[in-house]
Structure 1
Amino acid sequence: MRTLDDLLATGVAGRTVLVRTDLNVPLDGARITDDGRIRASLPTLHALTGAGARVVVTAHLGRPKGAPDPAYSLAPVAARLGELLGTPVAAATDVVGDSARAAVAGLSNGAVALLENVRFDPRETSKDAVQRGALADELAALVGSDGAFVSDGFGVVHRVQASVVDIAERLPGYAGTLVLTELTTLRRLSEAPDRPYAVVLGGSKVSDKLAVIEALLPKVDTLLVGGGMCFTFLAALGHPVGKSLLEQDMVDVCGRLLKTSGDTIGLPS
């Protein structure tokens, strides 16, 4: 795996680098209530800007329906990112359109631009590889032939999306600081964890976390399931869940997991 240090060793001054980050922060209107994910992106961005790269950040916020929605605009994130970096961030008002091209063209060495919410473009999450590839082509064109791609959005690295997977097939790819840190932690926890070993796992959908659950169960002493997905497990036990989030097609799967690993899985009572 090539890393950010490998990229920096090649020299990035004057080059444009596309960074996929995880800026999916909670908002109250236009107010960011927790900027932890923005702060987590800073080490990679500081390293690149300090080395003179022209940095283009792409990220998503929430789950817009493949079209621009002011409620999910990254404009507040751009403002906060600029405050934390100590320099203004050029905020594009589209993903790969005229505003994005102008923002990238106007970058000086060591400056940062943030593209608008990549999920405003329906091709980002398309099941059609051709559609995703078309968006990835446009993202790569923003960066140019001498550019590079840094994957630093650990929360999305498992998703088959244009700005995550397809772009890495079009530009030289490198793992960012956050991704490397998380992978190192996961490796330690999966190979030689301290005992007793308990994992708290949240999220809204069992289907999104099933592979993680199945990988963890043989290794942990306790797996505490929270978030919205706990209701599907509770339904598998026969508990009424009312109007809570329920993945009906995953109830049998949860029942199987509880049957084979019920002593390990902990649920809210």
Structure 2
Amino acid sequence: MKMTFKRIADLGDLTGKTAVVRVDLNVPMAEGSVADDTRLKAVKPTVDAVISAEGRVILLAHYGRPKGQVVPEMSLKPIVPALARVLGRDVGFYGLDEPKGNEAVIVIENTRFHAGEEANDPTLAAAFAGLGDVYINDAFSAAHRAHASTEGVAKLLPCAAGETMGAELQALENALGAPVKPVAAVVGGAKVSSKLAVLENLVEKVDHLIIGGGMANTFLFAQGYDVGASLCEKDLRDTALVILENAKTHGCAVHLPTDVVVAKEFKAHAENRAVGLTEVDADDMILDAGPETVKALVSVLESAKTLVWNGPMGAFEMEPFDMATVALAQAAARLTDEGKLLTVAGGGDTVAALAHAGAKDSFTHISTAGGAFLEWMEGRELPGVAALG
């Protein structure tokens, strides 16, 4: 689904104006301090853009799931010093109803301390809108939620996508909206059931669909192969067959393992062997795609111009069952570095897998958004993006 949205430049002259900016400050904490400031760094381009346009910034964000209650340990206050360091300027911190200081950048306390946030309450949205003159959404990770701070407020003020969110949306548009073909997609992970909508959407959009991880076992079972003691959703046999049939209808080539790595135990460095699909014993667990499969899949990537990746090819957390994920990720990284492939990836396991493979920094775009990235892959409209159109 094509996403249309305005950018900060479309908001006109910001001199003397206050921009209410929705950001992602949901950062990992350790002993009261920020353990990873990646998401804080993502806030800086939009803050800098507004201030360089002689505007002021008020940041809205959530932290955790306080469910509309004030939960002190979910306060945004401990994050403010780290954010100030990243931004290189003073940052004020206030409750929504408190009198505000004159700092150029202000953080408002956790939006989810208000019961009306997740309910998209119009009164709360109006309170957020009352903080400023324009609204900027720079939190793609929350764009799949129709909340007061992501959708409600956008209806009340001139609005636009922030710098980081705009870059993300453009990368996603390049990957599936208007991609350079052929397009390949890697979809892995444990269960077909968690990514049914993703698979159903992708077979209509991509030229090559590579299915890995435990999901592949379900498709192999549907095709009549014995998968032994492997993770397999046997009740989805008919669903898997429908997806394969739909892929044929839309001219999408589905790539499943042709050989697999099996072990009797689910643990790192368990005794293992690479076997053909007809050689899986009753007590074998399929834990990775095999070497012949990897060779074939690298060839698929070499024939593609665009790649979308979500989910690992096997039990990548345990050596040596990370082989297929690492090999494919490194091949994608090499092709990206050579300028032959545009690569977009997202999802928690995916980011961890690509980092493990040493391939993360080479990908064209890595999305840190979990649910929003998956819903985009499902082809669903994201309320927080639609509101910016």
TM-score of Structure 1 vs Structure 2, range by shorter chain: 0.7 to 0.9
1:125-164 → structure 2 map (5 Å cutoff): 125-126=118-119, 132-143=121-132, 147-164=133-150
Alignment CA distance shift 1:222-1:29 (3 Å)? farther
Shift in Å, 1:198: 3.4
Report the Cα distance in structure 2 between the residues aligned to 1:26 and 1:68, rounded to whole angstroms.
19
Aligned match of 1:3:
7
Shift in Å, 1:162: 0.4
1:120 to 2:122 alignment? no
Aligned match of 1:72:
74
Shift in Å, 1:169: 0.8
Find the residue that maps to 2:117 and give its secondary structure.
coil
Aligned match of 1:44:
46
Whether the aligned pair in 1 keeps the contact of 2:18 and 2:134 (CA below 8 Å) is yes
Greater Cα shift, 54-63 or 23-32: 23-32
Report the Cα distance in structure 2 between the residues aligned to 1:159 and 1:255, rounded to whole angstroms.
32
1:187-266 → structure 2 map (5 Å cutoff): 187-190=173-176, 191-193=178-180, 197-199=184-186, 212-220=198-206, 221-222=208-209, 258-261=240-243
Alignment CA distance shift 1:214-1:182 (3 Å)? farther
Shift in Å, 1:214: 3.8
Shift in Å, 1:87: 0.8
1:192 partner letter: P
Shift in Å, 1:35: 1.2
Which of 55, 59, 62 does residue 60 from structure 1 map onto?
62
Aligned match of 2:327:
none
Aligned match of 1:248:
none
Report the Cα distance in structure 2 between the residues aligned to 1:45 and 1:252, rounded to whole angstroms.
50
Aligned match of 2:21:
19
Shift in Å, 1:224: 6.2
Shift in Å, 1:177: 1.1
2:108 partner letter: L
Report the Cα distance in structure 2 between the residues aligned to 1:60 and 1:253, rounded to whole angstroms.
38
Report the Cα distance in structure 2 between the residues aligned to 1:5 and 1:11, rounded to whole angstroms.
8
Alignment CA distance shift 1:212-1:56 (3 Å)? farther
Which of 162, 166, 172 does residue 176 from structure 1 map onto?
162
Find the residue that maps to 2:130 and give its secondary structure.
helix
1:2 partner letter: K
Report the Cα distance in structure 2 between the residues aligned to 1:23 and 1:256, rounded to whole angstroms.
42
Report the Cα distance in structure 2 between the residues aligned to 1:136 and 1:212, rounded to whole angstroms.
32
Shift in Å, 1:183: 1.3
Find the residue that maps to 1:187 and give its secondary structure.
helix
Whether the aligned pair in 2 keeps the contact of 1:217 and 1:264 (CA below 8 Å) is no
Whether the aligned pair in 2 keeps the contact of 1:149 and 1:172 (CA below 8 Å) is yes
Report the Cα distance in structure 2 between the residues aligned to 1:48 and 1:3, rounded to whole angstroms.
12
1:49 partner letter: I
Report the Cα distance in structure 2 between the residues aligned to 1:49 and 1:224, rounded to whole angstroms.
46
Cα displacement string for residues 241-262 of structure 1 (whole angstroms, at most 9, x for unaligned residues): 8xxxxxxxxx899766544447
Whether the aligned pair in 2 keeps the contact of 1:217 and 1:223 (CA below 8 Å) is no
Whether the aligned pair in 2 keeps the contact of 1:59 and 1:117 (CA below 8 Å) is yes
Shift in Å, 1:188: 1.1
Alignment CA distance shift 1:154-1:97 (3 Å)? same
Cα displacement string for residues 130-153 of structure 1 (whole angstroms, at most 9, x for unaligned residues): xx111101111222xxx0000111
Cα displacement string for residues 41-64 of structure 1 (whole angstroms, at most 9, x for unaligned residues): 111110101222111000111222
RMSD, matched Cα: 3.4
Shift in Å, 1:6: 1.6
Report the Cα distance in structure 2 between the residues aligned to 1:59 and 1:97, rounded to whole angstroms.
15
2:151 partner letter: V
1:120 partner letter: F
Long gaps (5+) in structure 1:
242-250
Aligned match of 1:185:
171
1:78-93 → structure 2 map (5 Å cutoff): 78-92=80-94
Find the residue that maps to 1:197 and give its secondary structure.
strand
TM-score w.r.t. structure 1 length? 0.73
Whether the aligned pair in 2 keeps the contact of 1:54 and 1:107 (CA below 8 Å) is no
Aligned match of 1:165:
151
Report the Cα distance in structure 1 between the residues aligned to 2:173 and 2:51, rounded to whole angstroms.
29
Shift in Å, 1:216: 3.0
